[in-house]
Structure 1
Amino acid sequence: MKQLIVLLGPTGVGKTELSLNLAEHYRSPVISADSRQFFKGLEIGTAAPTTKQLSQVQHFLVGMLGITDYYSASEFERDALNIIAEQHKIHDVLVATGGSMMYIDALCNGIDDVPTIDEGLRKELYDLYEKEGLEPIRDQLKTIDPDFYNIVDLKNYKRVIHALEVCLMTGKPYSSFRTNTKKQRPFDIVKIGLTRERGQLYERINQRVDEMMEQGLLEEAEQYYPQRHLNSLNTVGYKELFKYLDGEWTLDFAIEKIKQNSRIYSRKQMTWFKRDEDIHWINLSETTDSEALQKIIAIAGS
């Protein structure tokens, strides 16, 4: 049976370097499951693989979208499975890595078949969101699909808007499409979770933000400031610097908020991943990358 090793974990834990070492061991490409790295031009803010790393190991699903492009977890599932099918003709073992919870879930377990949304409807709802905020959209969702309204994160505008899109597009509640049935894959999946002691992880996150600023994150944010309303830019790093560019925050305060929000996101990632009993955890605070690599190879049994 062909195999897919999925390397996951919180932001800043060290997935990129270990994924490169793992890919080199198996002579495999790396398939990205990081939703922030799909977009071209956001290399610094998304900590995308460097030019050197991209030349070191072939990567798929990195920098393949423009910042105005829409891309869903279901589209990712389709594209990733097509790549895996082609690459498994050449390689027995493939490596995927990322920290985007929904996209890892879509890759490993599948995602419910939700209808394609009309672009006109999507634009209409996002225009409403820009003008009046999320409240009127939440109100509509509550009326049409109270079941999903009661379980969705009501602050996550992308999920709320998407649910309402499906309701309006199909005339059926979004919850009726959510079967949560795990799909079978024609390959074995080995999930490896990377973690670190919290203090060390937070120190790495803080240091990485400082390095991003040195590499030109502010200039990258300035470049996209006129397009700051785009969904692709609604992410940690850019949102805070847009506040600085709006004149609401000082630069020092914005940088501290990037660090704080990155730490908060890392906790959310760990909360999500720890619900999955199939993940084999490796604490990088207690082992070297070389030792971790050998552990992964042993767990994978290949």
Structure 2
Amino acid sequence: MQYSTRLPPAIFLMGPTASGKSQIALDIAENFPVEIVSVDSAQVYRHLDIGTAKPDPATLIRAPHHLINLIDPNQNYSAALFRSDALNIMHKITQCNKIPLLVGGTMLYFRALQDGLSILPPADKGLRLKLENMANELGWPAMHQKLEELDQETAARIKPTDSQRIQRALEVCYLTQQPMSEILKTPREADFPYCKISIALIPSDRGQLHLRIAERFEAMLNHGLIDEVRSIRQQFSLNMESPSMRCVGYRQTCLYLDNKINSAELHDMGVAATRQLAKRQLTWLRSIKVDEVKEFDCLTSNLTTQVQQFLHAAIEKHSV
């Protein structure tokens, strides 16, 4: 890695779910002049605590986290909002002569932050309502076929049952009169005034990560995930398509509360969905150029020591 002395450093701590990012971040915060910035599309929601593995109040006192508990479960957030919020927070952190430590598994947010965003039109409520009415009549698989006619490249990446992404892709096609895939290929706004020190926690044994995932989801259920989701649904007007309830664990718990699956199915589906999330996260991490990120085996016994030794050398090299 090459570090520029003209730009302030920012640490990216990335990895799949259950790779131990949160604990490593806390260890770093105790030994380096950093402030933690959450890069998690689920932790932005207030009240989503257990299922998002959000740090508890005692941990937040010990190491404050930025960009968690920003909105209510019935509100929306986006990669564009994250980029703006993160850059503002990072500027304040560096003004205090500290280093932003960005920690999380929402790879879209990391990409938006460092590479910028393509210019897509804002949501159009009237058009969305029209598309929803069409979907109610035809079904989302049929809407997916319409998308395939307009934007074959985007349709190939979206499942026929993924209503949210199908709706957005069709909305962009109709508003711009061109495929969303073409718009996404246009140059993005990419002003990122920081020198990245990127760390990826990658498991050497996928099976061990799967065991961690199962144990973690079981712990969430034991700590009250079902009651948490029940309480959230009592407080806010939500449905299965609400972004907050599409989060891994919450969607499956909603199905359980609606008597569509039993407790054993809730467990199995929650674990399976979390495994799929981890698979997508690892695929994204593997796509990063080798010279742009330092990988560590998240299963090794001396992970904390390895990461901190690397950071000491990287930060010292940056300051030279």
Task: Report the TM-score, using the length of structure 1 for normalisation.
Answer: 0.90
Deviations 1:85-143 (A, max 9, x none): 22221134210011112111111222212222234434554565567542343234334
User: Does the CA contact (< 8 Å) of 2:173 and 2:180 recur in 1?
Assistant: yes
Amino acid at match of 1:121: L
Is the aligned partner of 1:263 residue 2:271?
Answer: no
- Quick one: structure 1 residues 133 and 231, their matched pair in 2 at CA, closer, same or farther if it must change by over 3 Å? farther
Q: Say whether the 8 Å CA contact 1:30–1:58 is kept in structure 2.
A: yes
Relative distance call for 1:159 and 1:284 in structure 2 (3 A) is: same
Question: For the structure 1 residues 136 and 110, does the alpha-carbon distance in structure 2 shift closer, same or farther, using more than 3 Å as the test?
Answer: same
Instruction: Tell me what 2:229 maps to.
Output: 221
When normalised by structure 2's length, the TM-score is 0.85
Residue 95 of structure 2: SS of its match in structure 1?
Answer: coil
Q: In the aligned structure 2, how far is the partner of 1:124 from the partner of 1:16?
A: 42
Pair 1:80–1:153, CA change in 2 (3 A): farther
Q: Would you say the 8 A contact 2:33–2:98 is kept in 1?
A: no
- 1:64 and 2:78 correspond: no
**Among candidates 144, 155, 163, match of residue 149 of structure 1:** 155
Corresponding residue of 1:190: 197
**Cα deviation 1:26-47 (Å, max 9, x = unaligned):** 3322111111111111101111
Residue number in structure 1 paired with 2:4: none
Moved more, 192-201 or 292-301: 292-301
Q: Residue 176 of structure 2 corresponds to which residue in structure 1?
A: 170
Task: Show the counterpart of 1:160.
Answer: 166
Alpha-carbon spacing, 1:44–1:126, altered in 2? closer, same or farther (3 Å) = farther
Alignment gaps of 5+ in structure 2 = 1-6
Say whether 1:239 aligns with 2:251.
Answer: yes
Q: Is the 8 A contact 1:241 1:251 kept in 2?
A: no
- Taking the aligned partners of 1:61 and 1:120, their CA distance within structure 2 comes to 31
**273-282 or 148-157, which deviates more:** 148-157
Which of the numbers 89, 92, 117 marks the counterpart of 2:95?
Answer: 89
Structure 1 pair 17–184 and aligned structure 2 pair: CA distance change class (3 A): same
Q: Assess if the C-alpha contact under 8 Å between 1:12 and 1:204 holds in 2.
A: yes
Give the share of equivalent positions with the same residue, in percent: 28
**In structure 2, do the counterparts of structure 1 residues 195 and 126 end up closer, same or farther at CA, with 3 Å as the change threshold?**
farther
Q: Is the 8 A contact 1:117 1:169 kept in 2?
A: no
Distance in 2, Cα, partners of 1:17 & 1:185 = 27
Shift of 1:294: 1.8
Once the two structures are TM-superposed, the CA of residue 6 in structure 1 deviates from its matched residue by 0.7
User: In the alignment, is residue 285 of structure 1 matched against residue 299 of structure 2?
Assistant: yes
Rate the CA distance shift 1:270–1:172 in 2: closer, same or farther, 3 A. Answer: same
Give 3-state SS (helix, strand or coil) of 1:301's partner: helix
Report the alpha carbon displacement of residue 48 of structure 1 after superposing the two structures with TM.
Answer: 1.0
State the Cα distance separating 1:152 from its structure 2 match. Answer: 4.6
| Residues 247-281 of structure 1: per-residue CA shift (max 9 Å, x gap) | 23221221122112212221221112101112211
The change in CA–CA distance for 1:37 and 1:23 in structure 2 (over 3 A counts) is: same
| Aligned match for 1:101, one of 104, 107, 116 | 107
Question: Which blocks of at least 5 consecutive residues in structure 1 are unaligned?
Answer: none
Q: CA deviation at 1:64?
A: 0.5
Q: Which amino acid aligns with 2:94?
A: H
Distance 1:151 1:244, change over 3 A: closer
Aligned AA (2:224): G
Change in Cα spacing, 1:125 to 1:76, as seen in structure 2 (3 Å) is farther
RMSD: 2.3
Q: Is 1:74 aligned to 2:80, yes or no?
A: yes
- Going from structure 1 to structure 2, the CA distance change for 1:57 and 1:180 (only over 3 Å counts) comes to farther
- The answer to which of 202-211 and 160-169 deviates more is 160-169
Whether the aligned pair in 2 keeps the contact of 1:111 and 1:180 (CA below 8 Å) is no
Which residue of structure 2 lines up, in the alignment, with residue 300 of structure 1? 314
Q: Give how far 1:246 is off.
A: 2.3
Q: Does the CA-based 8 Å contact 1:9-1:269 persist in structure 2? A: yes
**Secondary structure in 2 aligned to 1:88?**
helix
Q: Which secondary structure state, in structure 1, belongs to the residue aligned with residue 295 of structure 2?
A: strand
Question: CA separation in 2, counterparts of 1:276 and 1:172?
Answer: 29
Q: Secondary structure of 1:29's partner?
A: strand
**What secondary structure does 1:94 align onto?**
strand
Partner of 2:3: none
Match of 1:208 among 185, 201, 216: 216
CA distance in 2, matches of 1:143, 1:231: 27
CA contact (8 A) 2:38 2:103 kept: yes
